[in-house]
Structures are given as C-alpha cells and as structure tokens.
Amino acid sequence: MIIITTHKNTDFDALASVIAGTMLYPGAVGVIPKSVNNNVARFLSTHKTAFNIVLPDEIDYDQVRRLIVVDTDQWRRLDRMEKLKRRQDLEIYIWDHHLSGGDIEADWLCQEAVGATVTLLVREMKRREMELNPLVSTILLIGLYEDTGHLSFPSTQAEDASAAAFLLKNGADLNVASVFLNPPYEEIQKDILFTMMQDTEKIQFNNYIIGFNITNLEKKVPMLAAIVSMYRKIINADAVFVIFINDEKSCTVIGRSGVDQIDVGAILRNFNGGGHPAAGSATVKTADFSPHMLKSKISELIKQQQVSGATIADLMSFPVTLVPADTPMRNVRDLMQEQKIRGVLVGTDRNLEGIVVLWDFKKLKRESQWKSPVKAFMARNVITIAPDMQPAEAAQLMVKMNIGHLPVVHNQKIIGIVTRTDILTYFYGILPD
C-alpha cells in the first residue's frame, strides 16, 4: 500500500498536494491529519467523499510499503506516523517547496523553492499530459492561490503562474475557489483584529516598518493567519509578527512579510517553527521565552538578517573619477564620454568640492564656455553616504533628493560611488548597457 500524507494544521496547499498525489500514484491513499485548518475542514465537510482520503487511524500501518510526504520534510509535523519512522523496508518520497532541511530521509525527493508544493505535482501532471476534472482542478488551484496569495507573494515563481494556467484550462472554478479562500469574517475575528489594532508597536529597521503585537487569546479563534495578513495591510507595515498567548504554557507567533528582505520563515525557524519568506508561524513554550522576550529576540533576528544582507559597499563602483576644480568643461565632457559615465566628482578624495553631471552641460550656452573651469558649473554640497548603508536606503535618498550619484565616504575619504544604474542592477539584476 502507498499512503500520502502531510503536515498537521493542514492548509490548502497541503491538502491539494495530497489529492494531486492520489492522482499521480494510482491506488495510493491520502491520509489527512486530524487537525486541519478551519477553511480546510469546511471544504472537507462537503467534499471529502470525492477523494481517496482517510484519517490516520483508518490505516493498517503494516501494509504500508511506501510513504509519500507532501508539503513538509519533518517527522514531528506528521500525524501518527511514528510507527513508520523506524521501518527499514519502507520507501519514502518527498514533494516539498520548503527548503528547511528536515529530518525525513527520503529515497526520492522533489524539493524546490516554488510558491506552493502543488506546483511541483502539477508539473508532473503536465509532463504526463494528464487531464483533470473541474473539482480536482479547483482544489489544486485553491492550494496554489492560498500559498502564493493569489500569485502575489514574493515567493511566487513563474512556474506557479503556469500551473495556475493549467488548472484553469482544466476547468478550475474561481467562484468556488473564492468561497474557500475568502471566508467571511465573523464577530470573533473582527473582535480580535480590533484588539490587535489598539496595541500595535511599529519599529523601523533600515527602511522597513515592522509591526509587533502581543494578544491574549481567550478562546480558540479560527483563521488567525488570515487575520494577521489583513492586520499587516491595515497597519501598513512591511512585515508583522503577532504573538498570540494561548495559555500560561505557550504562545503562537504568526508572521507575515510583504518584502523580500524580511524572511519570516527563516526568522521563525529559530523557534522550531517555519514557513516561507512571506508567511510563517511557530509555537513557543513560555518556559523558553516569555512573550516579551520572544518579541525582543525576533527584533534581534530581524536586525541580524538585515546586517547580513548586501550593503552599499557591495554594489558601489570604484575607483572614482575625480577632476581638479579648474579643469575646463571640454575636458570633463571628453572624460565622461571616454569612461561612459554620467557624472564626475570635483576635488580630491579627501576634499570633495562638487559634482558635475551630464545634465549640467545644458547650462553651457556659448562655445567659449567649454573653456571655463568645472567649478563654475558644478553642484556644491554633495550628499555622500556611508559604505554600510542599505541599498534600499540609498535608493530612497536618490528619489527624495532627485540625485543620481552618491559618493561613498569612509574615514573622510571617498572610496566609491553609487549611481542609479548600480541600484537598478542590484534590485532587478538589470545589466547596464
């Protein structure tokens, strides 16, 4: 017997991947953990019989020859699979889009950083030129949309979009999908969102606003993750971490990020949790971290993550072209053409007097002015930056001051220069022509 299972607190990507697995491995039985997310429970209550899926206690484990794990690679996240852990004769396959380096040792695996696990299974369906019915297409699309935020999370890959195209072609129903992806907010969710909004702490790291909130959960609230996503949008933060106090013993942190530079999953893996760059969660014992300690530890980790990212020193150009203040404009122009640059610094590397850029040549009205010294046309009071500045900060400074050149100064000496091209190259990998 082949069984296909996935992580506890099963979300739609996990469920969809199990169902996709039952299509790819004929005869295989899907085993859905007892604890599933609320919207998944809602879906299963009406659709369960349409698929070949059962609960863990309905399985005769002695019969299992192959275990296929989807959307996780960690034993502790599976439900009642301990009996299989020590079996020598068991074959294990993994399909997963988390690169978390879990402890399940697979005989075969397909593990790639795409937006949803189901994308990887759809790839195989496309390869086999399979045709899906509208119901299967719809549940697969729900999984794909949930994990990629309707293809909008930064973790989304082109292949996720083409998997979505395949599912739509096979009749996935967007009306049905939206019912399960956007469940109505009930009083209990509105209450908790309102409580969270009243006590938000926003902290700025470099250019990012991170929202923190600690909330007491007096009762079980379904759809907390969706509430946190909405909360992030309402408070207009780049990322949020909400610490829900479950009881005296534990709290659950849910994180959401809208920027590539803050990897929520990586941060929460420090607390035995996990997820993606855009979304993650962890359940933490109060004995290890009080909610407030947890908050400061997360802030610390965000700072570390930011420091380990690229700085201006990594993307600046050097050496820098400098000319003396009495250089004739004609020579400056020739130099810029020769070096294919749009700006030249005036002075020495320890005494910056000004900058002249391509645009300044428009100020020259008469031919004789080409003999004039550059100091007559240069801009003074040049804005400089430090080498440890973040690229995003430099980009904002350029926009705010409407300048395209930022000399980089370290110990009162110019060591490089950053231009708009450097910034574009860094953010988009666009190479200058």
**Which parts of this chain interact with Mn ion (CB under 5 A)?**
13, 71, 117, 147
Residue 70 near residue 95, CB atoms below 8 Å: yes
The nearest distance, CB 116 to Mn ion, in angstroms, is: 5
Task: Please list the residues that pair with 29 across neighbouring strands.
Answer: 3
Residue 355 near residue 378, CB atoms below 8 Å: yes
Residue 97 or 295: the one with the smaller Cβ distance to Mn ion is 97
Identify which of 57, 55, 56, 67 has the alpha carbon closest to the alpha carbon of residue 28.
67
The nearest distance, CB 382 to Mn ion, in angstroms, is: 49
Residue 142 or 329: the one with the smaller Cβ distance to Mn ion is 142
- Which SS3 state, helix, strand or coil, does residue 107 take? coil
Task: Please list the residues that pair with 274 across neighbouring strands.
Answer: 281
Residue 166 or 212: the one with the smaller Cβ distance to Mn ion is 166
Identify which of 275, 270, 306 has the alpha carbon closest to the alpha carbon of residue 289.
270
The nearest distance, CB 97 to Mn ion, in angstroms, is: 6
Residue 13 or 160: the one with the smaller Cβ distance to Mn ion is 13
The nearest distance, CB 251 to Mn ion, in angstroms, is: 23
State the Cα torsion 51-52-57-58 to the nearest 10°. 130
Q: Is 420 exposed, middle or buried (0-12, 13-18, 19+ CB in 10 A)?
A: middle
Give the residue nearest to Mn ion (CB): 13
Residue 114 or 243: the one with the smaller Cβ distance to Mn ion is 114
The nearest distance, CB 13 to Mn ion, in angstroms, is: 3
Residue 149 or 211: the one with the smaller Cβ distance to Mn ion is 149
Q: How many secondary structure helices (H) and strands (E) does the chain include?
A: 15, 17
Answer whether the bond into residue 319 is a cis peptide, omega within 30°.
Answer: yes
The nearest distance, CB 91 to Mn ion, in angstroms, is: 23
